[in-house]
Structure 1
Amino acid sequence: MGTQHLELAAPPEPSTEPLRNGDTIPLSHSSAYPTTERTLASVASVLRGGGVEHLEVISTEVNNILSGNADRIRSLIGKLDTFTTALNAQRYEIARAIEEVRELLTIVVDNDATLDRVLTDFPPLVAHFADQRELFTGSVEALGRFSDVTGRTMAAARADLHENLRLLQRPLKELGRAAPHLPGALEILLTLPFTADEVGKFVRGDYINLSPTFDLTLSTIDNSFLAGTRFSGALRALEQAWGRDPNTMVPDIRFTPNPLTAPGGPLIERSE
Protein backbone atom coordinates (compact mmCIF):
# COMPACT_ATOMS: atom_id res chain seq x y z
CA MET A 1 0.00 0.00 0.00
CA GLY A 2 1.46 3.33 -1.07
CA THR A 3 4.60 1.82 -2.63
CA GLN A 4 5.65 2.63 -6.22
CA HIS A 5 6.52 -0.10 -8.74
CA LEU A 6 7.98 0.11 -12.27
CA GLU A 7 7.60 -2.65 -14.85
CA LEU A 8 9.34 -2.84 -18.22
CA ALA A 9 7.42 -4.91 -20.79
CA ALA A 10 8.52 -5.81 -24.27
CA PRO A 11 6.70 -3.81 -26.99
CA PRO A 12 4.53 -5.64 -29.55
CA GLU A 13 7.18 -5.03 -32.21
CA PRO A 14 10.55 -4.96 -30.42
CA SER A 15 13.57 -3.38 -32.05
CA THR A 16 16.70 -5.38 -32.78
CA GLU A 17 18.83 -2.58 -31.26
CA PRO A 18 19.59 -3.02 -27.56
CA LEU A 19 18.98 -0.19 -25.02
CA ARG A 20 21.94 2.05 -24.29
CA ASN A 21 22.71 4.72 -21.71
CA GLY A 22 20.61 7.83 -22.38
CA ASP A 23 17.83 6.13 -24.34
CA THR A 24 14.30 7.32 -23.48
CA ILE A 25 10.87 5.75 -23.66
CA PRO A 26 8.15 8.20 -24.83
CA LEU A 27 5.21 8.82 -22.48
CA SER A 28 2.87 7.71 -25.25
CA HIS A 29 4.40 4.22 -24.89
CA SER A 30 3.82 4.13 -21.14
CA SER A 31 0.84 3.46 -18.90
CA ALA A 32 0.16 3.80 -15.18
CA TYR A 33 -1.77 1.71 -12.70
CA PRO A 34 -4.24 3.55 -10.46
CA THR A 35 -2.75 4.87 -7.25
CA THR A 36 -3.94 3.79 -3.82
CA GLU A 37 -5.84 7.05 -3.38
CA ARG A 38 -7.71 6.56 -6.65
CA THR A 39 -8.52 2.98 -5.74
CA LEU A 40 -9.92 3.95 -2.32
CA ALA A 41 -11.91 6.83 -3.88
CA SER A 42 -13.47 4.46 -6.38
CA VAL A 43 -14.35 1.99 -3.62
CA ALA A 44 -15.88 4.83 -1.56
CA SER A 45 -18.03 5.91 -4.51
CA VAL A 46 -19.33 2.38 -4.89
CA LEU A 47 -20.04 2.02 -1.16
CA ARG A 48 -21.91 5.39 -1.04
CA GLY A 49 -23.99 4.60 -4.08
CA GLY A 50 -21.90 6.71 -6.43
CA GLY A 51 -24.31 9.70 -6.17
CA VAL A 52 -26.94 7.90 -8.25
CA GLU A 53 -29.71 9.06 -5.91
CA HIS A 54 -28.82 12.67 -6.69
CA LEU A 55 -29.43 12.05 -10.36
CA GLU A 56 -33.06 11.26 -9.58
CA VAL A 57 -33.42 14.46 -7.54
CA ILE A 58 -31.87 16.50 -10.33
CA SER A 59 -34.08 14.85 -12.94
CA THR A 60 -37.19 15.51 -10.82
CA GLU A 61 -36.35 19.19 -10.32
CA VAL A 62 -35.58 19.72 -13.99
CA ASN A 63 -38.89 18.06 -14.90
CA ASN A 64 -40.74 20.36 -12.43
CA ILE A 65 -39.10 23.40 -14.00
CA LEU A 66 -39.94 22.40 -17.56
CA SER A 67 -43.50 21.26 -16.91
CA GLY A 68 -45.96 23.96 -18.06
CA ASN A 69 -43.17 26.50 -18.78
CA ALA A 70 -42.22 25.45 -22.28
CA ASP A 71 -43.35 28.73 -23.86
CA ARG A 72 -41.52 30.83 -21.28
CA ILE A 73 -38.36 28.77 -21.63
CA ARG A 74 -38.60 29.00 -25.42
CA SER A 75 -39.01 32.80 -25.13
CA LEU A 76 -36.09 32.95 -22.70
CA ILE A 77 -33.89 30.98 -25.08
CA GLY A 78 -34.88 33.30 -27.94
CA LYS A 79 -34.04 36.37 -25.84
CA LEU A 80 -30.75 34.82 -24.81
CA ASP A 81 -29.98 34.19 -28.45
CA THR A 82 -30.78 37.83 -29.30
CA PHE A 83 -28.72 39.03 -26.36
CA THR A 84 -25.71 36.92 -27.26
CA THR A 85 -25.99 37.98 -30.93
CA ALA A 86 -26.05 41.67 -29.99
CA LEU A 87 -23.27 41.13 -27.49
CA ASN A 88 -21.17 39.37 -30.11
CA ALA A 89 -21.79 42.22 -32.60
CA GLN A 90 -20.54 44.75 -30.04
CA ARG A 91 -17.56 42.80 -28.81
CA TYR A 92 -15.15 45.25 -30.46
CA GLU A 93 -16.85 48.22 -28.77
CA ILE A 94 -16.82 46.36 -25.45
CA ALA A 95 -13.14 45.58 -25.87
CA ARG A 96 -12.46 49.24 -26.75
CA ALA A 97 -14.44 50.40 -23.71
CA ILE A 98 -12.46 48.05 -21.49
CA GLU A 99 -9.24 49.40 -23.01
CA GLU A 100 -10.35 53.00 -22.44
CA VAL A 101 -11.29 52.17 -18.85
CA ARG A 102 -7.83 50.70 -18.44
CA GLU A 103 -6.29 53.90 -19.81
CA LEU A 104 -8.50 55.96 -17.49
CA LEU A 105 -7.38 53.91 -14.52
CA THR A 106 -3.78 54.40 -15.63
CA ILE A 107 -4.32 58.18 -15.71
CA VAL A 108 -5.98 58.03 -12.30
CA VAL A 109 -3.03 56.09 -10.91
CA ASP A 110 -0.56 58.54 -12.46
CA ASN A 111 -2.44 61.46 -10.86
CA ASP A 112 -2.92 59.83 -7.51
CA ALA A 113 -1.33 62.78 -5.70
CA THR A 114 -3.64 65.28 -7.41
CA LEU A 115 -6.72 63.21 -6.63
CA ASP A 116 -5.61 62.87 -3.04
CA ARG A 117 -5.27 66.65 -2.79
CA VAL A 118 -8.70 67.17 -4.39
CA LEU A 119 -10.32 64.75 -1.97
CA THR A 120 -8.55 66.50 0.87
CA ASP A 121 -9.43 70.07 -0.13
CA PHE A 122 -12.94 69.40 -1.45
CA PRO A 123 -14.73 68.71 1.87
CA PRO A 124 -13.91 72.17 3.33
CA LEU A 125 -15.22 73.76 0.12
CA VAL A 126 -18.46 71.79 0.41
CA ALA A 127 -18.76 72.83 4.04
CA HIS A 128 -18.27 76.49 3.03
CA PHE A 129 -21.01 76.20 0.39
CA ALA A 130 -23.27 74.59 2.97
CA ASP A 131 -22.66 77.51 5.34
CA GLN A 132 -23.45 80.02 2.57
CA ARG A 133 -26.54 78.27 1.25
CA GLU A 134 -28.83 81.07 2.48
CA LEU A 135 -26.75 83.58 0.51
CA PHE A 136 -26.99 81.43 -2.61
CA THR A 137 -30.72 81.00 -2.10
CA GLY A 138 -31.19 84.76 -1.73
CA SER A 139 -29.15 85.39 -4.87
CA VAL A 140 -31.27 82.97 -6.88
CA GLU A 141 -34.48 84.53 -5.58
CA ALA A 142 -33.21 88.05 -6.36
CA LEU A 143 -32.27 86.93 -9.86
CA GLY A 144 -35.76 85.53 -10.27
CA ARG A 145 -37.34 88.83 -9.19
CA PHE A 146 -35.04 90.76 -11.52
CA SER A 147 -35.96 88.44 -14.39
CA ASP A 148 -39.66 88.94 -13.64
CA VAL A 149 -39.33 92.74 -13.60
CA THR A 150 -37.29 92.67 -16.78
CA GLY A 151 -39.88 90.50 -18.48
CA ARG A 152 -42.77 92.77 -17.49
CA THR A 153 -40.83 95.90 -18.50
CA MET A 154 -39.85 94.50 -21.86
CA ALA A 155 -43.41 93.31 -22.48
CA ALA A 156 -44.77 96.79 -21.75
CA ALA A 157 -42.17 98.50 -23.96
CA ARG A 158 -42.26 95.90 -26.70
CA ALA A 159 -44.30 97.99 -29.13
CA ASP A 160 -42.19 101.13 -28.65
CA LEU A 161 -38.96 99.15 -28.85
CA HIS A 162 -40.11 97.49 -32.04
CA GLU A 163 -41.01 100.84 -33.56
CA ASN A 164 -37.67 102.39 -32.52
CA LEU A 165 -35.76 99.49 -34.03
CA ARG A 166 -37.78 99.76 -37.21
CA LEU A 167 -37.07 103.50 -37.50
CA LEU A 168 -33.41 102.89 -36.69
CA GLN A 169 -33.05 100.71 -39.77
CA ARG A 170 -33.21 103.72 -42.10
CA PRO A 171 -30.29 105.74 -40.66
CA LEU A 172 -28.25 102.59 -40.17
CA LYS A 173 -28.85 101.62 -43.79
CA GLU A 174 -27.83 105.07 -45.01
CA LEU A 175 -24.81 105.01 -42.72
CA GLY A 176 -23.78 101.74 -44.31
CA ARG A 177 -24.18 103.23 -47.77
CA ALA A 178 -22.10 106.25 -46.73
CA ALA A 179 -19.40 104.11 -45.12
CA PRO A 180 -16.95 104.46 -48.06
CA HIS A 181 -17.08 108.28 -47.69
CA LEU A 182 -16.68 108.40 -43.92
CA PRO A 183 -12.84 108.28 -43.87
CA GLY A 184 -12.67 111.31 -46.11
CA ALA A 185 -15.25 113.16 -44.02
CA LEU A 186 -13.39 112.41 -40.82
CA GLU A 187 -10.29 114.01 -42.28
CA ILE A 188 -11.96 117.44 -42.18
CA LEU A 189 -14.09 116.91 -39.05
CA LEU A 190 -11.67 118.70 -36.70
CA THR A 191 -9.83 120.84 -39.27
CA LEU A 192 -12.80 122.17 -41.27
CA PRO A 193 -12.55 123.61 -43.90
CA PHE A 194 -9.08 122.09 -44.41
CA THR A 195 -8.23 118.43 -44.51
CA ALA A 196 -5.97 116.89 -41.91
CA ASP A 197 -3.22 116.47 -44.49
CA GLU A 198 -3.31 120.16 -45.40
CA VAL A 199 -3.19 121.53 -41.83
CA GLY A 200 0.60 121.51 -41.77
CA LYS A 201 0.70 123.56 -44.94
CA PHE A 202 -1.30 126.57 -43.74
CA VAL A 203 -0.34 126.56 -40.06
CA ARG A 204 3.31 127.59 -39.81
CA GLY A 205 4.47 128.26 -36.28
CA ASP A 206 2.61 131.32 -34.90
CA TYR A 207 0.89 132.39 -38.11
CA ILE A 208 -1.58 130.95 -40.60
CA ASN A 209 -1.20 131.04 -44.36
CA LEU A 210 -4.71 131.75 -45.54
CA SER A 211 -5.90 133.35 -48.73
CA PRO A 212 -9.69 133.88 -48.49
CA THR A 213 -11.80 134.92 -51.45
CA PHE A 214 -15.06 136.75 -50.75
CA ASP A 215 -17.71 137.02 -53.45
CA LEU A 216 -19.50 140.32 -52.77
CA THR A 217 -21.28 140.59 -56.06
CA LEU A 218 -24.89 141.65 -55.82
CA SER A 219 -26.15 138.42 -57.34
CA THR A 220 -24.32 136.33 -54.72
CA ILE A 221 -25.62 138.54 -51.87
CA ASP A 222 -29.10 138.25 -53.38
CA ASN A 223 -28.92 134.42 -53.40
CA SER A 224 -27.47 134.29 -49.88
CA PHE A 225 -29.61 136.76 -47.97
CA LEU A 226 -32.70 137.64 -49.98
CA ALA A 227 -33.67 134.18 -51.28
CA GLY A 228 -37.19 133.29 -50.19
CA THR A 229 -38.15 136.87 -49.36
CA ARG A 230 -40.20 139.35 -51.41
CA PHE A 231 -36.99 141.22 -52.24
CA SER A 232 -35.43 138.19 -53.91
CA GLY A 233 -33.96 139.14 -57.28
CA ALA A 234 -33.79 142.90 -56.57
CA LEU A 235 -30.00 143.10 -56.20
CA ARG A 236 -29.55 140.79 -59.17
CA ALA A 237 -31.67 143.10 -61.32
CA LEU A 238 -29.69 146.11 -60.08
CA GLU A 239 -26.37 144.45 -60.96
CA GLN A 240 -27.68 143.53 -64.38
CA ALA A 241 -28.90 147.12 -64.87
CA TRP A 242 -25.35 148.36 -64.18
CA GLY A 243 -24.18 146.33 -67.18
CA ARG A 244 -23.19 142.95 -65.74
CA ASP A 245 -23.49 140.11 -68.23
CA PRO A 246 -26.08 137.60 -66.88
CA ASN A 247 -23.97 134.69 -68.20
CA THR A 248 -21.11 135.65 -65.86
CA MET A 249 -23.36 135.92 -62.80
CA VAL A 250 -24.02 133.07 -60.40
CA PRO A 251 -27.21 131.20 -61.34
CA ASP A 252 -30.39 132.60 -59.93
CA ILE A 253 -31.51 130.31 -57.15
CA ARG A 254 -35.12 130.99 -57.98
CA PHE A 255 -34.83 129.45 -61.42
CA THR A 256 -32.17 126.82 -60.83
CA PRO A 257 -33.72 123.40 -61.50
CA ASN A 258 -34.51 121.26 -58.52
CA PRO A 259 -31.73 118.61 -58.35
CA LEU A 260 -34.44 116.01 -57.78
CA THR A 261 -36.40 116.98 -60.89
CA ALA A 262 -33.59 118.27 -63.10
CA PRO A 263 -33.26 116.76 -66.58
CA GLY A 264 -31.15 113.65 -66.42
CA GLY A 265 -31.67 113.63 -62.66
CA PRO A 266 -32.14 113.20 -59.92
CA LEU A 267 -28.74 114.74 -59.32
CA ILE A 268 -28.74 113.72 -55.66
CA GLU A 269 -29.76 110.45 -54.06
CA ARG A 270 -32.50 110.54 -51.47
CA SER A 271 -32.97 108.11 -48.65
CA GLU A 272 -35.86 105.72 -48.78
Structure 2
Amino acid sequence: MSRILDARTSLDLVKLLVFVLVTSLATGVLVVTIGNLGFGDSRQYKAEFTDATGVNKGDDIRVAGVRVGTVSDVEVVDRTHALVTFSVDTGTSVNGGTNASIRYRNLVGQRYISLTQEVGDTARLREGATIPLSRTRPALDLTVLFNGFKPLFQALSPEDVNQLSYELVQVFQGEGGTLEGLLAHTASVTSTLADRDQVIGELIDNLSLVLDHVADRDEQLTRLITSFRTLVGGLKKDRNAILGSLEEVSALSVETASLVDGIREPFVKDIKELRAVAENVDRNKAELDRALQVLPIKLEKIGRTAIYGSFFNFYLCEFQGRVNLPRDVSIPVTYETGSDRCDLT
Protein backbone atom coordinates (compact mmCIF):
# COMPACT_ATOMS: atom_id res chain seq x y z
CA MET A 1 0.00 0.00 0.00
CA SER A 2 2.80 2.40 0.84
CA ARG A 3 4.46 1.60 -2.49
CA ILE A 4 1.30 2.56 -4.36
CA LEU A 5 1.08 5.87 -2.44
CA ASP A 6 4.74 6.62 -3.17
CA ALA A 7 4.19 5.99 -6.88
CA ARG A 8 1.16 8.28 -6.97
CA THR A 9 3.01 10.98 -5.06
CA SER A 10 5.96 10.80 -7.43
CA LEU A 11 3.62 10.99 -10.44
CA ASP A 12 1.81 14.08 -9.02
CA LEU A 13 5.16 15.72 -8.27
CA VAL A 14 6.34 15.15 -11.83
CA LYS A 15 3.09 16.60 -13.21
CA LEU A 16 3.46 19.64 -10.95
CA LEU A 17 7.05 20.23 -12.06
CA VAL A 18 6.09 19.90 -15.72
CA PHE A 19 3.21 22.37 -15.21
CA VAL A 20 5.49 24.89 -13.44
CA LEU A 21 8.12 24.56 -16.18
CA VAL A 22 5.64 25.01 -19.03
CA THR A 23 3.98 27.97 -17.28
CA SER A 24 7.36 29.64 -16.67
CA LEU A 25 8.42 29.15 -20.30
CA ALA A 26 5.10 30.54 -21.57
CA THR A 27 5.36 33.55 -19.24
CA GLY A 28 8.93 34.20 -20.36
CA VAL A 29 7.95 34.01 -24.04
CA LEU A 30 5.03 36.36 -23.38
CA VAL A 31 7.29 38.87 -21.60
CA VAL A 32 9.86 38.74 -24.39
CA THR A 33 7.14 39.13 -27.04
CA ILE A 34 5.34 42.02 -25.37
CA GLY A 35 8.51 43.80 -24.32
CA ASN A 36 10.21 43.07 -27.62
CA LEU A 37 13.31 42.16 -25.67
CA GLY A 38 16.54 40.98 -27.23
CA PHE A 39 19.37 39.01 -25.71
CA GLY A 40 22.06 39.48 -28.36
CA ASP A 41 25.09 41.73 -28.18
CA SER A 42 24.53 45.46 -28.72
CA ARG A 43 26.53 48.58 -29.41
CA GLN A 44 25.88 51.99 -27.81
CA TYR A 45 25.70 55.32 -29.69
CA LYS A 46 24.49 58.87 -29.06
CA ALA A 47 22.46 61.33 -31.13
CA GLU A 48 22.06 65.08 -30.58
CA PHE A 49 18.61 66.66 -31.23
CA THR A 50 17.35 70.21 -31.10
CA ASP A 51 14.17 68.90 -29.44
CA ALA A 52 13.63 65.46 -27.92
CA THR A 53 10.22 66.10 -26.35
CA GLY A 54 8.40 62.84 -25.58
CA VAL A 55 11.45 60.57 -25.96
CA ASN A 56 11.85 58.41 -22.86
CA LYS A 57 14.11 55.64 -21.67
CA GLY A 58 13.07 52.32 -23.19
CA ASP A 59 11.60 53.77 -26.41
CA ASP A 60 12.32 51.86 -29.61
CA ILE A 61 15.14 52.37 -32.08
CA ARG A 62 13.85 51.23 -35.47
CA VAL A 63 15.26 50.64 -38.93
CA ALA A 64 12.63 50.38 -41.69
CA GLY A 65 10.00 49.89 -38.98
CA VAL A 66 11.84 46.97 -37.32
CA ARG A 67 12.98 47.33 -33.72
CA VAL A 68 16.75 47.05 -33.46
CA GLY A 69 17.46 48.72 -30.13
CA THR A 70 16.23 50.90 -27.26
CA VAL A 71 16.82 54.34 -25.79
CA SER A 72 19.10 54.19 -22.75
CA ASP A 73 19.14 57.79 -21.54
CA VAL A 74 18.04 61.36 -22.43
CA GLU A 75 19.92 64.38 -21.10
CA VAL A 76 20.35 68.11 -21.79
CA VAL A 77 23.52 69.43 -23.44
CA ASP A 78 24.60 73.09 -23.12
CA ARG A 79 21.03 73.96 -22.04
CA THR A 80 20.01 74.08 -25.71
CA HIS A 81 20.15 70.54 -27.11
CA ALA A 82 19.12 67.06 -26.08
CA LEU A 83 21.56 64.14 -26.11
CA VAL A 84 19.93 60.73 -26.55
CA THR A 85 21.95 57.64 -25.69
CA PHE A 86 20.74 54.41 -27.34
CA SER A 87 21.90 50.89 -28.05
CA VAL A 88 21.40 48.82 -31.23
CA ASP A 89 22.10 45.25 -32.19
CA THR A 90 25.63 44.54 -33.39
CA GLY A 91 24.23 43.51 -36.74
CA THR A 92 22.81 47.02 -37.31
CA SER A 93 25.10 49.30 -39.28
CA VAL A 94 25.44 52.83 -37.89
CA ASN A 95 27.84 54.83 -40.07
CA GLY A 96 28.60 58.32 -41.26
CA GLY A 97 25.55 58.35 -43.56
CA THR A 98 23.05 57.32 -40.88
CA ASN A 99 20.33 59.85 -40.02
CA ALA A 100 18.25 59.74 -36.84
CA SER A 101 14.67 61.08 -36.79
CA ILE A 102 12.18 61.23 -33.92
CA ARG A 103 8.78 60.04 -35.10
CA TYR A 104 5.36 59.48 -33.60
CA ARG A 105 4.53 55.91 -32.71
CA ASN A 106 0.84 56.79 -32.26
CA LEU A 107 -1.45 59.78 -31.61
CA VAL A 108 -1.17 59.24 -27.86
CA GLY A 109 2.26 60.85 -28.06
CA GLN A 110 4.65 57.90 -27.84
CA ARG A 111 7.83 58.36 -29.90
CA TYR A 112 10.54 56.23 -31.37
CA ILE A 113 13.80 56.99 -33.18
CA SER A 114 14.08 55.93 -36.79
CA LEU A 115 17.53 55.28 -38.31
CA THR A 116 17.76 55.81 -42.07
CA GLN A 117 20.69 55.43 -44.44
CA GLU A 118 21.58 58.19 -46.91
CA VAL A 119 24.53 58.90 -49.14
CA GLY A 120 27.67 59.46 -47.08
CA ASP A 121 30.49 57.76 -45.31
CA THR A 122 29.76 54.04 -45.10
CA ALA A 123 32.39 53.32 -42.45
CA ARG A 124 30.82 52.07 -39.24
CA LEU A 125 30.96 54.55 -36.35
CA ARG A 126 32.96 53.56 -33.34
CA GLU A 127 30.97 52.57 -30.27
CA GLY A 128 29.92 55.64 -28.21
CA ALA A 129 30.13 58.01 -31.22
CA THR A 130 27.57 60.82 -31.54
CA ILE A 131 25.33 61.52 -34.53
CA PRO A 132 25.54 65.34 -34.97
CA LEU A 133 22.64 67.80 -35.28
CA SER A 134 23.16 68.02 -39.06
CA ARG A 135 21.98 64.41 -39.38
CA THR A 136 19.09 64.40 -36.85
CA ARG A 137 15.54 65.68 -37.08
CA PRO A 138 13.13 66.33 -34.17
CA ALA A 139 9.55 65.12 -34.12
CA LEU A 140 6.85 66.86 -36.11
CA ASP A 141 5.13 69.60 -34.05
CA LEU A 142 1.56 68.34 -34.08
CA THR A 143 0.27 71.44 -32.29
CA VAL A 144 1.34 73.72 -35.12
CA LEU A 145 0.14 71.22 -37.73
CA PHE A 146 -3.30 70.66 -36.21
CA ASN A 147 -3.86 74.36 -35.52
CA GLY A 148 -3.56 74.93 -39.26
CA PHE A 149 -6.29 72.31 -39.83
CA LYS A 150 -8.52 73.56 -37.00
CA PRO A 151 -11.23 75.05 -39.30
CA LEU A 152 -11.30 71.74 -41.18
CA PHE A 153 -11.60 69.65 -38.02
CA GLN A 154 -14.63 71.64 -36.85
CA ALA A 155 -16.66 70.18 -39.73
CA LEU A 156 -15.69 66.56 -38.94
CA SER A 157 -16.88 64.01 -36.44
CA PRO A 158 -14.45 62.88 -33.70
CA GLU A 159 -13.83 59.56 -35.53
CA ASP A 160 -13.01 61.35 -38.79
CA VAL A 161 -10.71 63.76 -36.95
CA ASN A 162 -8.77 60.86 -35.41
CA GLN A 163 -8.44 59.05 -38.74
CA LEU A 164 -7.44 62.18 -40.66
CA SER A 165 -4.98 63.20 -37.93
CA TYR A 166 -3.31 59.80 -38.03
CA GLU A 167 -2.99 59.90 -41.82
CA LEU A 168 -1.59 63.44 -41.67
CA VAL A 169 1.11 62.31 -39.27
CA GLN A 170 1.85 59.29 -41.43
CA VAL A 171 2.09 61.34 -44.65
CA PHE A 172 4.17 64.16 -43.22
CA GLN A 173 6.56 61.74 -41.53
CA GLY A 174 6.91 59.65 -44.67
CA GLU A 175 5.85 56.47 -42.92
CA GLY A 176 3.35 55.03 -45.26
CA GLY A 177 -0.06 56.33 -46.10
CA THR A 178 -0.66 58.05 -49.37
CA LEU A 179 -1.73 61.47 -50.49
CA GLU A 180 -4.68 59.80 -52.19
CA GLY A 181 -6.07 58.76 -48.83
CA LEU A 182 -5.52 62.23 -47.43
CA LEU A 183 -7.18 63.80 -50.46
CA ALA A 184 -10.08 61.35 -50.18
CA HIS A 185 -10.80 62.53 -46.65
CA THR A 186 -10.38 66.13 -47.74
CA ALA A 187 -12.82 65.50 -50.60
CA SER A 188 -15.39 64.14 -48.13
CA VAL A 189 -15.01 67.28 -46.04
CA THR A 190 -15.41 69.41 -49.16
CA SER A 191 -18.59 67.52 -50.06
CA THR A 192 -19.96 68.12 -46.57
CA LEU A 193 -19.22 71.83 -46.89
CA ALA A 194 -20.85 71.87 -50.32
CA ASP A 195 -24.03 70.36 -48.86
CA ARG A 196 -24.17 73.28 -46.47
CA ASP A 197 -23.46 75.99 -49.03
CA GLN A 198 -26.87 77.62 -48.48
CA VAL A 199 -26.29 77.98 -44.75
CA ILE A 200 -22.77 79.27 -45.36
CA GLY A 201 -24.11 81.73 -47.98
CA GLU A 202 -26.75 83.05 -45.57
CA LEU A 203 -24.12 83.42 -42.89
CA ILE A 204 -21.88 85.41 -45.24
CA ASP A 205 -24.83 87.60 -46.34
CA ASN A 206 -25.78 88.35 -42.73
CA LEU A 207 -22.16 89.07 -41.87
CA SER A 208 -21.92 91.44 -44.86
CA LEU A 209 -25.09 93.23 -43.69
CA VAL A 210 -23.66 93.65 -40.19
CA LEU A 211 -20.38 94.96 -41.55
CA ASP A 212 -22.27 97.42 -43.79
CA HIS A 213 -24.14 98.83 -40.78
CA VAL A 214 -20.92 99.08 -38.82
CA ALA A 215 -19.23 100.83 -41.78
CA ASP A 216 -22.13 103.32 -42.06
CA ARG A 217 -21.62 104.29 -38.44
CA ASP A 218 -17.87 104.35 -38.39
CA GLU A 219 -17.79 107.99 -37.24
CA GLN A 220 -20.11 107.29 -34.30
CA LEU A 221 -18.14 104.17 -33.45
CA THR A 222 -14.89 106.14 -33.57
CA ARG A 223 -16.34 108.84 -31.31
CA LEU A 224 -17.62 106.18 -28.93
CA ILE A 225 -14.23 104.53 -28.71
CA THR A 226 -12.53 107.91 -28.28
CA SER A 227 -14.98 108.96 -25.57
CA PHE A 228 -14.60 105.65 -23.80
CA ARG A 229 -10.84 106.00 -23.96
CA THR A 230 -11.10 109.51 -22.52
CA LEU A 231 -13.38 108.22 -19.76
CA VAL A 232 -10.98 105.43 -18.88
CA GLY A 233 -8.08 107.89 -18.93
CA GLY A 234 -9.95 110.24 -16.59
CA LEU A 235 -10.79 107.40 -14.22
CA LYS A 236 -7.14 106.39 -14.25
CA LYS A 237 -6.03 109.92 -13.37
CA ASP A 238 -8.63 110.23 -10.61
CA ARG A 239 -8.17 106.74 -9.22
CA ASN A 240 -6.60 108.07 -6.01
CA ALA A 241 -9.49 110.47 -5.44
CA ILE A 242 -12.01 107.75 -6.21
CA LEU A 243 -10.37 105.32 -3.83
CA GLY A 244 -10.21 108.04 -1.16
CA SER A 245 -13.88 108.85 -1.66
CA LEU A 246 -14.76 105.20 -1.23
CA GLU A 247 -13.16 105.28 2.20
CA GLU A 248 -15.15 108.42 3.05
CA VAL A 249 -18.35 106.78 1.78
CA SER A 250 -17.62 103.81 4.01
CA ALA A 251 -17.16 106.11 7.01
CA LEU A 252 -20.38 107.98 6.12
CA SER A 253 -22.24 104.68 5.94
CA VAL A 254 -21.03 103.78 9.42
CA GLU A 255 -22.09 107.18 10.81
CA THR A 256 -25.48 106.96 9.07
CA ALA A 257 -26.03 103.51 10.51
CA SER A 258 -25.27 104.77 14.03
CA LEU A 259 -27.60 107.76 13.48
CA VAL A 260 -30.46 105.57 12.33
CA ASP A 261 -29.83 103.23 15.23
CA GLY A 262 -30.26 106.14 17.67
CA ILE A 263 -33.57 107.38 16.22
CA ARG A 264 -34.99 103.99 15.38
CA GLU A 265 -37.87 104.02 17.87
CA PRO A 266 -39.18 107.57 17.12
CA PHE A 267 -38.59 106.98 13.43
CA VAL A 268 -40.74 103.85 13.51
CA LYS A 269 -43.41 105.78 15.43
CA ASP A 270 -43.38 108.58 12.85
CA ILE A 271 -43.77 106.02 10.08
CA LYS A 272 -46.84 104.59 11.82
CA GLU A 273 -48.35 108.08 12.31
CA LEU A 274 -47.59 108.90 8.68
CA ARG A 275 -49.53 105.81 7.71
CA ALA A 276 -52.50 107.08 9.74
CA VAL A 277 -52.25 110.48 8.00
CA ALA A 278 -52.18 108.74 4.63
CA GLU A 279 -55.31 106.76 5.55
CA ASN A 280 -57.10 110.00 6.57
CA VAL A 281 -56.10 111.66 3.32
CA ASP A 282 -57.39 108.63 1.41
CA ARG A 283 -60.74 108.79 3.22
CA ASN A 284 -61.16 112.55 2.62
CA LYS A 285 -59.70 112.74 -0.87
CA ALA A 286 -63.01 114.01 -2.28
CA GLU A 287 -63.11 116.98 0.14
CA LEU A 288 -59.42 117.70 -0.48
CA ASP A 289 -60.02 117.67 -4.21
CA ARG A 290 -62.94 120.12 -3.88
CA ALA A 291 -60.91 122.37 -1.56
CA LEU A 292 -58.02 122.46 -4.02
CA GLN A 293 -60.43 123.38 -6.84
CA VAL A 294 -61.99 126.23 -4.79
CA LEU A 295 -58.66 127.47 -3.40
CA PRO A 296 -57.72 129.58 -6.48
CA ILE A 297 -61.08 131.42 -6.28
CA LYS A 298 -60.66 132.16 -2.59
CA LEU A 299 -57.07 133.30 -3.10
CA GLU A 300 -58.27 135.67 -5.87
CA LYS A 301 -60.90 137.21 -3.53
CA ILE A 302 -58.35 137.55 -0.73
CA GLY A 303 -56.01 139.26 -3.21
CA ARG A 304 -58.68 141.84 -4.12
CA THR A 305 -59.19 142.75 -0.46
CA ALA A 306 -55.44 143.45 -0.06
CA ILE A 307 -55.04 145.83 -3.01
CA TYR A 308 -54.87 148.95 -0.80
CA GLY A 309 -51.71 147.94 1.04
CA SER A 310 -50.34 145.44 3.46
CA PHE A 311 -53.65 145.29 5.33
CA PHE A 312 -57.16 143.96 4.79
CA ASN A 313 -60.41 145.95 4.71
CA PHE A 314 -63.31 144.18 6.38
CA TYR A 315 -66.91 145.34 5.89
CA LEU A 316 -69.76 144.29 8.10
CA CYS A 317 -72.56 143.07 5.85
CA GLU A 318 -74.68 141.10 8.32
CA PHE A 319 -74.70 140.50 12.04
CA GLN A 320 -76.29 137.52 13.72
CA GLY A 321 -76.35 136.80 17.44
CA ARG A 322 -78.44 136.03 20.53
CA VAL A 323 -79.35 138.04 23.59
CA ASN A 324 -79.67 135.97 26.76
CA LEU A 325 -82.24 137.30 29.26
CA PRO A 326 -82.99 136.18 32.79
CA ARG A 327 -84.93 132.97 33.29
CA ASP A 328 -83.11 131.31 30.40
CA VAL A 329 -84.76 133.43 27.78
CA SER A 330 -82.75 133.85 24.57
CA ILE A 331 -83.69 136.26 21.80
CA PRO A 332 -82.05 135.88 18.33
CA VAL A 333 -80.76 139.07 16.73
CA THR A 334 -80.13 139.52 12.96
CA TYR A 335 -78.97 142.80 11.42
CA GLU A 336 -78.02 143.62 7.81
CA THR A 337 -75.97 146.78 7.23
CA GLY A 338 -76.93 147.20 3.58
CA SER A 339 -73.39 148.30 2.55
CA ASP A 340 -72.58 148.52 -1.19
CA ARG A 341 -69.33 146.62 -0.56
CA CYS A 342 -71.32 143.56 0.41
CA ASP A 343 -72.68 143.30 -3.13
CA LEU A 344 -69.12 143.23 -4.57
CA THR A 345 -68.10 140.23 -2.56
Please give the TM-score of this superposition, normalised by the length of structure 2: 0.30
* More relative contact order, 1 or 2 (CA 8 Å, 6+ apart): 2
1 or 2, which has the higher helix percentage? 1
